[in-house]
Structure 1
Amino acid sequence: MTKFRTWYAIVLFTCLSSIALYAPTAAADPRGGTYLLTIKDATTGAFASRGVITLHGDHTLSAIDSGQGGPDFFFSSQQGVWKPDSKGGAVGRTLDFNFPPSPGVARLDYTFQFGSDDKDVTGTITLTTFPLQGDPLGEGGTVVGTFTFDGKRVQP
């Protein structure tokens, strides 16, 4: 009986150690990081705003925009996700809330292309709005703007 318990303990320890050793972790993606963006209207090329976007190592995405506090538009910061694309870049999607007088939900779809040293980024943003009770994860909505951006990685 003692041999069985010893053998059982060794097998259990080995199995648990293997699970801990090979458990997936959020690997740091070299494209991740925080970037300071200059955002322009894709149609006219006119300056639209400045933004800060962070592509987190766990593939969540957060963004703030210089226009979010008004005076023309009132919306929250953006929260969402990103993933690498098949071309060495990435795609992302965020959501934010529009505040009165025009409450609603906005979805921003991003494309990212990274410079050779991952210190520069360019891309596009498509802004689609939905009624507050609409489904910003589904089809539909109203595309209210398409933008381009270029940015630099924020370094410590």
Structure 2
Amino acid sequence: MTATEMLLDAVDLARAAAEEEAGAESVGAHVGVHGEDEHSVTHLFEAEHAGYRGWSWAVTVAHAGEGSPVSISEVVLLPGPDALVAPEWVPWSERVRAGDLGVGDLMPPRENDPRLVEAYVQSDDPAVEEVALEIGLGRTRVLSREGRLEAA
């Protein structure tokens, strides 16, 4: 038996690996095999889990060369063309809409927001620091000219 035939005949080994990862009840019928290279193939099994219709367990089996045993390379769950998958992730700053926030809710500003600038450089003199805090210069960032004009 050639090495390629050994890899193609490793369905039982691949099924056992998928069942060990997912549980026997979650691994369905063998639905295909895909050659990766001359030393490895990936066997596909239906995912029998209610939330994963259209997904497949993919088990890659490999060997190091003639006479070497076939071994499991990896076991993963992959979506098929008809699988239900999550939508592409959108950053929170682009998802928040009017009505999502209430009174007192705070959100961090955008990174490199042109409406904000550094407030002041701290001094080594405690008297200057005390006066700075009294007049409101203790904030790390304040509105820039652009920010003030937009707010107005």
For this structure pair, what is the TM-score category when the shorter chain's length is used for normalisation? 0.3 to 0.5
Q: Is the radius of gyration larger for structure 1 or structure 2?
A: 2
Name the TM-score, length of structure 2 as normaliser. 0.35
TM-score by length of 1: 0.35
